[in-house]
Amino acid sequence: MKLEAKIPSGPLADKWTDYKAHTALVSPANKRKHTILIVGTGLAGGGAAAALGELGYKVKAFCYQDSARRAHSIAAQGGINAAKNYQNDGDTVFRLFYDTIKGGDFRAREANTYRLAEISNEIIDQCVAQGVPFGREYSGYLANRTFGGAQVSRTFYARGETGQQLLLGAYNSLNAQVNAGNVDVFERTEMLDLIVIDGVARGIVVRDMVSGEVSSHFGDAVLLCTGGYSNVFFLSTSAKGCNGSALWRAYKRGAAFANPSFTQIHPTAIPQSGDFQSKLTLMSESLRNDGRVWVPKKAGDDRPPNDIPEDERDYYLERIYPSFGNMVPRDVASRNAKNVCDEGRGIGPTKRGVYLDFAVAIERLGVDVIKDRYGNLFEMYEMINDEDPYETPMMIYPAPHYTMGGLWVDYDLMSNMPGLFVLGEANFSDHGANRLGASALMQGLADGFFVIPNTLGQYIAKGKHPDVDPNCDEVRKVEQDAKDFNQKLLDIKGSKTVDYFHRAMGMIMLDKCGMARSKEGLNEAIEKIGKLKEEFWADVKVPGTGESLNQELEKAGRVADYFDLAILMCLDAREREESCGGHFREEHKTEEGEARRDDENFCHVAVWEWMGEDQAPQAHKEELEFEYVELTQRSYK
Amino acid sequence: MKLTLEIWRQKDANDKGHFETYELDNVRSHMSFLEMLDVLNQELIEKGEEPVAFDHDCREAICGTCGFVINGVAHGHMKRNTVCQLHMRTFNDGDHLVLEPWRAKAFPLVRDLIVDRSAFERIQRAGGYISARTGSAPDANSILIPKEQAEAALDFAECIGCGACVASCPNGAAMLFVGARIAHLGFLPQGQPERVERAKAMVAAMEQEGFGACTNYTSCEATCPKGVSIVGIAKMNKDYFNAKLFSGGNLGGKE
C-alpha cells in the first residue's frame, strides 16, 4: 500500500497559499459536468455540499436523518476556536497550531494542523456572514471564552449551542444551493457500500430507509463526511444513529484506516444513572472556565457536597496542574477523574463521578452572569438529574465522545483510494492522539468550506472520469452484496436483540479499550468480542423485512460492523506500545502517572489495511516528521 | 412503576392505523421517556412482535428529530421539553398514556409515531437563508451587532425544527417555525438585503405545503421545546406585509 501524504514543500506558513496558487483548476463551465457524492451533512458534509454547489459542481448529498439540519454537529455545545487575537492576549496562527499539535500529543501532521489554524479565521468571518448569532460584548464586538489546553481566549460561542448555530449556518447555505439547483439532498438514505471500479471510487450503494429500496448513485468523487464511531462503546455522547458503517465498508473496499484506537473520552458528561441508559449527555467543557472540579479528600465520604468543608475537599486538577488548573486538556482531566474514582473517592450513587462546582464563580460574578453564559446547560442538567446546579455542585464523569482516528487521508483529504475523500471527524488527520475542545467544529467547517473546494479540483482536472455503466458487473456485485448482507441479518431469526449485543460489546470496550489499556486487557477484549460476534451472527433477532422502514435492521447492520471495528481498535491499541494523549497504556507511564510517549518507536500514524474476512489486517506506517515544533513531554503543570 | 400505554400503530401511509394497548412493568423513575419505549421495544422484539417505530437521534433535545403527542400534548406535559428529555419521574405509578404521532395535513404519516416533515425542508429551501458565498465575507468584527440584538436573533435561531408547533395548532399552521427563521435573520444586519424576498418566498412555500393559517391560539408557543416566542409570527407578518406593499406585489386581494 502506497501512503503518500503529498505535503507541499516550502515553509510551513506558506504551504497552503503556495498550494492554492499552483493547484490545477476546473473551468466554471466544466464543473457542472462533474457529479460529487457527499455522505453526511454535518459541518464537514453540509459545508462541502454548499461550497461545491457554489462552485458549480453537481452535488448529491446523503444523510440518514430526516433533515440535513439534524446531523450530530448540532449537539456541539461550547464553541469554535480561531486565532483572531481579538482579545489581544498573544494569540497567533502559530500558537493555535502549536496548542493543537501539543494537545494531540505530537501525533498529528504538522502541515494539516497548521492549515487548520490558518483557516480558522476565515471560518469565523464566513459564519458571521451566514447569520450565526455568536455571543457578543455590549459594544457589539464578538466575545470569546477560554477552552482546555490553551492559555488564550480564542473560543467563539453561541450560548451552549454553538454547534447548532454553526450547523444551521451551513444548512442554510446548503439550502441556498438546493434552491439554485446545484445540490440534491437525499434524506433518510443510508450508505451501504462503496462502488470501486478499476481501483477508483465511483459511487455508493444506498438504502432508502422508508421504502427499503436499494439503489446506486455514481459520481466522479465520493466524499465521506460521516463523523466518528464512538458508539462502538454503546454509551457515548454521540446521537443514537451515529455510526461507523460508511467508513468500515469503505475500509473493506480498500481504504486505509488510521489510528483507529485514538478515541476521546470527554471529562464532563453526566454520569450514568442506571442499566437502561441509552446514551450519555455531555456538559460542555466551557463549564470548566468557571466550574471547579473536586472530590472529597477522604475515600467513602458520603456527606452531601455542601456539607463537606473546604479543607476536606481535593481540587485535584488545581493541585496537580497549577498552571492550567481546571483547564487541562480533556485526556488529562478524564484520566484524573478515573484515578480519583479508582481510589474510592468518587461521588454519587454509582461512585463513578466527581463534582463540578460553581459556588465560587457565582459568588464572584453573580447568578445572572453564570446564567447568561451557561443557562441552557444548567437547565439541561436539572432536567436530567433533578438537581439545581446553581445550588448543588454538578456531578460529572468521563464519557466516550470523539474519535481522532478515521480513514487515512493525504494533504488533499483524499484517502489512499483515488476519488475517495474523507472530511471532518471521519478522517484522522488533525488532532493526533487527543483533540482540544472547540476544535471539532473548526475542523469540520475548515474541511468542508475551505479545504475541499481547493483540493478537489486537482483530482477532477487531472483524471478522465468516464461514465459508469450502471449495469456493469462491478456495480451489480456491490448492490447484491449489500442486499445479501441485510438479508443475512434478517434470516438469522435468533433469540437476542441487537441492543443486547451492542451493550455487551460496549462494556468490554469501555473497560479494556477506554481510558486505560493494557496488553493483557486488550487480548482479553479481542477474544471476548470475537466470541460475541460469533454469537451475534448465530443468534441475533432482527424483526420485520428489508422492504420497509425497519429501525432494528438499520441498527443490526451498524452493530455488525462495530464488532470488526472494535477488534481493529484493540489491535491498534495493543500495537502502540506507548502512552500518548487519550491512548493510555498502563505499561507506559511516568512515575507521576502521566502518559509516557515513545517518540523513537511510535512517532508515526498507524495505518491498517483490510486483508479479507478472517484475515489479520496488515499494519503500515506513516512516519511523522516535525520540522517546526520540538517534541517535548507534554506538561500542563 | 407500572404504566399502560396506548400507542398508535400504523404500518405505512396506506394502512388505516389503530391504537394498541401495552402494559409495562418495571419503569424506573430515572429513565427518559424514550428509554422507557426502548424497554417496551425490547420486550416486543423478544415476544416476536414488531417494535414501535419512533424518530429520535441526539437524545439531548437539540437535533429536533423526536416528537409525538402524549395525552394530547406535543412532547408531553413538561414545559420546554422534548420527549427525549422527558423523564419518567414526572409520571405516576399506574398512569395511562396515549401516544400519537404529529397529526397535520402537511406531515404525512410514515410509520407508527414517525411522520414526514419534508414540507419544512421545502420552506427553508425557498429562502430561509442569507446568500453569503464562501470566501466573500469581511472580517467578522467589521459587522457590529448590539448584544441585545444578537441575543434576540439567537432566541429565534434556537428553533430545532421538531414540528411540535404544527402538531399543537388547531389549524396545523407552521407560522411559529417560519417566523422563527425570519425573525432570526431579520434581527441581524447581515439578513437585511434579502429580508423582503425571504418573507415572500417562505410564506408562499408554506402556503403551498398546505399548512393552515394562524388564528392566535398560541398553543405553538406553549408547547415549543425551545420557548420560541410568537413575536416571530408578528415579525413574519410585518416583513410579509412590507414585501407585498413595497416591492410591487399586492396583498392578494386582486390580481
Query: A475 in the Ramachandran plot: left (φ > 0), alpha (ψ -120 to 50) or beta?
Result: alpha
Give the integer Cα–Cα distance in Å for B92 and B111: 28
Alpha-carbon distances of B186 from A10, B37, B179, B196, B235, rounded to whole Å = 46, 40, 10, 9, 8
User: Phi and psi dihedrals of B25, rounded to 5?
Assistant: -95, 175
Give the integer Cα–Cα distance in Å for A628 and A11: 9
Per-residue pLDDT band for A148 (boundaries 50, 70, 90) equals: confident
Q: Where are the domains of chain B?
A: 3-110, 118-246
Residue B249 confidence (pLDDT):
52
Q: Above 90 in pLDDT, residue B245?
A: no
Residue A27 confidence (pLDDT):
95
Residue B250 confidence (pLDDT):
53
Q: Where are the domains of chain A?
A: 33-171+188-262+404-462, 266-399, 476-594
Nearest in space to B153 (alpha carbons), one of B98, B229, B211: B229
Residue B252 confidence (pLDDT):
55
Contact state of A187 with B135 under an 8 Å Cβ cutoff: no
Dump pLDDT digits (tens) for A116-132. Answer: 999 999 999 999 999 99
Q: Above 80 in pLDDT, residue B255?
A: no
CB atoms within 10 A of CB B15: 11
User: Over A458-503, what HEC string results?
Assistant: HHHHHCCCCCCCCCCHHHHHHHHHHHHHHHHHHHHCCCECHHHHHH
Tell me how many residue pairs between chain A and chain B have CB atoms under 8 A apart: 212
**CA A269 to centroid of chain Cα atoms:** 16
Dump pLDDT digits (tens) for A28-87. Answer: 999 999 999 999 999 999 999 999 999 999 999 999 999 999 999 999 998 999 999 999
Residues in chain A within 8 Å Cβ distance of B121: 67, 175, 185, 187
Query: Which of A133, A165, A499 has the CB atom closest to B42's CB atom?
Result: A499
Give the integer Cα–Cα distance in Å for A165 and B158: 8
Residues in chain B within 8 Å Cβ distance of A165: 154, 157
Contact state of B127 with A179 under an 8 Å Cβ cutoff: yes
Superfamily of domain B3-110: Beta-grasp domain (3.10.20.30)
Relative to beta strand A35-39, strand A221-224 is parallel
Closest approach of A591 to chain B, Cα-based (Å) = 40
* Chain A touched by B154 (CB under 8 Å): yes
Superfamily of domain B118-246: Alpha-helical ferredoxin (1.10.1060.10)
B48 by Cβ neighbours in 10 Å (0-12 / 13-18 / 19+) ranks as: exposed
Contact state of A552 with B126 under an 8 Å Cβ cutoff: no
- A-interface mutation test, from B38, B63, B91, most A Cβ less than 10 A away: B63
- B-interface mutation test, from A73, A80, A125, most B Cβ less than 10 A away: A125
Contact state of A276 with B38 under an 8 Å Cβ cutoff: yes
Q: Above 90 in pLDDT, residue B248?
A: no
Contact state of B48 with A543 under an 8 Å Cβ cutoff: yes
* Chain A touched by B75 (CB under 8 Å): no
Residue A633 confidence (pLDDT):
83
A168 by Cβ neighbours in 10 Å (0-12 / 13-18 / 19+) ranks as: buried
* Chain A touched by B252 (CB under 8 Å): no
Higher pLDDT among residues A330 and A407, named by residue: A407
Contact present, A474 and A72 (Cβ < 8 Å): no
Q: Could you tell me the fold of the domain covering A33-171+188-262+404-462? A: FAD/NAD(P)-binding domain (3.50.50)
Give the integer Cα–Cα distance in Å for A290 and A432: 28
Q: Above 60 in pLDDT, residue B254?
A: no
Contact present, A33 and A56 (Cβ < 8 Å): no
Give the integer Cα–Cα distance in Å for A444 and B23: 45
H or E segment to which residue A602 belongs: helix A599-602
Residue A635 confidence (pLDDT):
82
User: Phi and psi dihedrals of A265, rounded to 5?
Assistant: -100, 115
* % of chain A exceeding 70 in pLDDT: 100
Give the integer Cα–Cα distance in Å for A406 and A287: 28
The residue type found at B70 is I
Per-residue pLDDT band for A380 (boundaries 50, 70, 90) equals: confident
Average pLDDT over residues A609-619: 96
Residues in chain B within 8 Å Cβ distance of A158: 154, 157
Residue A23 confidence (pLDDT):
96
CATH code for the domain defined by A266-399: 3.90.700.10
ipTM of the complex: 0.96
Q: Above 60 in pLDDT, residue B251?
A: no
A548 by Cβ neighbours in 10 Å (0-12 / 13-18 / 19+) ranks as: middle
Question: Which cell numbers in the block locate residue A76?
Answer: 456541539
Contact present, A209 and A188 (Cβ < 8 Å): yes
Q: Above 90 in pLDDT, residue A383?
A: no
Contact state of A278 with B62 under an 8 Å Cβ cutoff: no
Q: Above 60 in pLDDT, residue B253?
A: no
Q: Does domain A476-594 have CATH number 2.30.30.30?
A: no
Cβ neighbours for A260, distance < 8 A, ≥ 6 positions apart: A405, A565, A568, A569, A572, A608
User: Phi and psi dihedrals of A135, rounded to 5?
Assistant: -65, 145
- B-interface mutation test, from A80, A124, A172, most B Cβ less than 10 A away: A172
Q: Above 60 in pLDDT, residue A555?
A: yes
Contact state of A136 with B116 under an 8 Å Cβ cutoff: no
Dump pLDDT digits (tens) for B90-142. Answer: 999 999 999 999 999 999 999 999 999 999 999 999 999 999 999 999 999 99
* % of chain B exceeding 90 in pLDDT: 94
Give the integer Cα–Cα distance in Å for A158 and A167: 12
Where would I find the H helices in A145-229?
A: 162-179
Contact present, A229 and A426 (Cβ < 8 Å): no
Dump pLDDT digits (tens) for A406-442. Answer: 999 999 999 999 999 999 999 999 999 999 999 999 9
Per-residue pLDDT band for A285 (boundaries 50, 70, 90) equals: confident
Dump pLDDT digits (tens) for B178-204. Answer: 999 999 999 999 999 999 999 999 999
- A-interface mutation test, from B25, B34, B41, B62, most A Cβ less than 10 A away: B62
User: Phi and psi dihedrals of A31, rounded to 5?
Assistant: -60, -40
Dump pLDDT digits (tens) for A164-221. Answer: 999 999 999 999 999 999 999 999 999 999 999 999 999 999 999 999 999 999 999 9
Question: Which cell numbers in the block locate residue B131?
Answer: 446568500
Give the integer Cα–Cα distance in Å for A427 and B149: 38
Residues in chain A within 8 Å Cβ distance of B141: 84, 86, 141-142
Give the integer Cα–Cα distance in Å for B213 and A226: 39
A339 by Cβ neighbours in 10 Å (0-12 / 13-18 / 19+) ranks as: middle
- B-interface mutation test, from A55, A59, A70, most B Cβ less than 10 A away: A70
Closest approach of A300 to chain B, Cα-based (Å) = 24
Query: Which of A133, A176, A450 has the CB atom closest to B154's CB atom?
Result: A133
Contact present, B163 and B117 (Cβ < 8 Å): yes
* Chain A touched by B198 (CB under 8 Å): no
Residues in chain B within 8 Å Cβ distance of A241: 57
**pLDDT averaged over every residue in chain A:** 96
CB atoms within 10 A of CB A285: 28
A601 by Cβ neighbours in 10 Å (0-12 / 13-18 / 19+) ranks as: exposed
Residue A593 confidence (pLDDT):
85
User: Over chain B, what HEC string results?
Assistant: CCEEEEEEECCCCCCCCEEEEEEECCCCCCCEHHHHHHHHHHHHHHCCCCCCCCCCCCCCCCCCCCCCEECCEECCCCCCCCHHHCEHHHCCCCCEEEEECCCECCECEEECCEECCHHHHHHHHHHCCCCCCCCCCCCHHHCCCCHHHHHHHHHHHCCCCCCHHHHHCCCCECHHHHHHHHHHHHCCHHHCCCHHHHHHHHHHHHHHCCCECCCCCCHHHHHCCCCCCCHHHHHHHHHHHHHHHHCCCCCCCCC
Nearest in space to A284 (alpha carbons), one of A168, A198, A163, A194: A163
User: Phi and psi dihedrals of B118, rounded to 5?
Assistant: -65, -15
Contact state of B57 with A65 under an 8 Å Cβ cutoff: yes
Is the torsion defined by CA of A5, A6, A10, A12 positive or negative? Answer: negative
Give the integer Cα–Cα distance in Å for A111 and A131: 31
* Chain B touched by A504 (CB under 8 Å): no
Query: A478 in the Ramachandran plot: left (φ > 0), alpha (ψ -120 to 50) or beta?
Result: alpha
Contact present, A395 and A270 (Cβ < 8 Å): yes
A272: DSSP letter: P
- A window 369-388, beta carbon within 8 A of B: 379-380, 383-384, 386
CB atoms within 10 A of CB B236: 26
